[in-house]
């Protein structure tokens, strides 16, 4: 019962973050964002505590650790991007550092998939390369404001999140498990969220509020889903 309640509380603070950001209250929105990120981690920790006492011992402690580290680096990314809202002087540097923190977090998510089902295939990697190549062409076509280093980081970042979606989707195809159904939905949502975020940060879009709302809503949904896999793993 506690997990659903915590999920609702986290969702409430996530919603407050979106509303406050839309009203231009950056500092208050940043605080709610931090609380939401802490909520994701709390869901994973409490979910692990519930599952570790179960007789079937389905949940591997390392799976929990990998997801928890992914959420932790997500929190780090949130902190860095949150500071950007109140310290615009360091915006470019903070965006790069935040992107790097999220990147590490997605590596942990990817590792958690292999921990849950240690089966390697080249197919997801080929699919991720193709998707990333198409995305890189689109980024050039829409003339995103990125220097060469940030462009390289962004392309590599997109490759990693696309790979997470492809690997989890492939494992869902093989296992038909609830864990990979949730992980695949979360991974696809992360791809959508970060794609929207790229347009917010790197294109001269005039009306950014709707895009920010979409980005935050999808990001929070993805994090909640990833945290819930710890409790719902079958």
Going by C-alpha positions, the residue among 95, 71, 67, 74 that lies closest to residue 83 is: 95
Range with lowest mean pLDDT among 117-121, 144-148, 153-157, 205-209: 205-209
Give tens-digit pLDDT for 5-25.
888 888 888 888 888 877 777
Q: How confident is the model at residue 53 (pLDDT cuts 50, 70, 90)?
A: low
Q: What are the tokens at 79?
A: 């902190």
Can you read off the two tokens belonging to residue 189? Answer: 């949502």
Distances (CA, A) of 168 to 24, 128, 150, 185, 226: 37, 12, 27, 9, 12
Per-residue confidence at 206, pLDDT binned at 50, 70, 90?
Answer: low
Q: What is the mean pLDDT of residues 221-233?
A: 88
Query: What is the reported pLDDT for 31?
Result: 84
Cβ(172)–Cβ(180) below 8 Å: yes
Domain count, the chain: 1
Share of the chain above pLDDT 90, in %: 43
Give me the domain span that covers residue 225. Answer: 2-232
From 165, 219, 183, select the one nearest 67 (Cα to Cα): 183
Residues 6+ apart with CB under 8 A from 1: none
pLDDT of residue 56: 52
- pTM (two decimals): 0.90
Quick one: pLDDT band at residue 207, thresholds 50, 70, 90?
Answer: low
Name which residue leads in pLDDT, 149 or 56.
Answer: 149
Higher pLDDT, 188 or 85: 188
Provide the pLDDT confidence category of residue 172 given band limits of 50, 70 and 90: very high
pLDDT at 205: 66
pLDDT of residue 35: 87
pLDDT at 104 over 90: yes
Q: How far is the C-alpha of 5 from the C-alpha of 1, rounded, in Å?
A: 7
Report yes or no: 139 and 154 within 8 Å, Cβ to Cβ. Answer: yes
Q: How is residue 170 written in tokens? A: 């492939």
Lowest mean pLDDT among 58-62, 83-87, 174-178, 215-219: 58-62
Of these ranges, 137-146, 163-172, 218-227, the one predicted with the greatest mean pLDDT is 163-172
Mean pLDDT of the chain: 87
Rounded distance, CA 60 to CA 161, Å?
Answer: 23
Least confident of 38-42, 87-91, 223-227: 87-91
pLDDT score recorded for residue 200 = 82
* Listed residue (159, 162, 144) closest to 202, CA to CA: 144
User: If DSSP codes are grouped into helix, strand and coil, which group holds residue 56?
Assistant: coil
């Amino acid at each position: 019962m506690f997990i659903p309640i915590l999920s609702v509380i986290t969702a409430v603070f996530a919603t407050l973050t979106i509303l406050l950001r839309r009203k231009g209250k950056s500092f208050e929105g940043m605080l709610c964002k931090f609380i939401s990120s802490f909520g994701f981690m709390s869901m994973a920790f409490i979910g692990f505590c519930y599952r570790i006492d179960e007789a079937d011992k389905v949940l591997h402690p390392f799976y929990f650790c990998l997801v928890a580290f992914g959420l932790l680096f997500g929190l780090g990314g949130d902190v860095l991007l949150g500071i950007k809202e109140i310290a615009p002087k360091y915006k470019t540097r903070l965006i790069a550092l935040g992107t790097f923190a999220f990147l590490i977090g997605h590596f942990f998510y990817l590792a958690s998939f292999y921990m849950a089902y240690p089966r390697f295939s080249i197919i997801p990697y080929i699919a991720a390369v193709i998707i990333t190549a198409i995305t890189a062409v689109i980024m050039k076509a829409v003339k995103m404001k990125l220097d060469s280093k940030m462009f390289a980081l962004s392309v590599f970042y997109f490759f990693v999140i696309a790979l997470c979606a492809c690997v989890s989707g492939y494992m869902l195809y093989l296992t038909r498990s609830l864990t990979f159904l949730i992980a695949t939905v979360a991974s696809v949502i992360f791809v959508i969220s970060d794609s929207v975020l790229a347009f917010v940060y790197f294109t001269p879009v005039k009306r950014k509020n709707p895009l920010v709302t979409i980005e935050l809503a999808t990001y929070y949904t993805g994090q909640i889903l990833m945290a819930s896999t710890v409790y719902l793993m079958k």
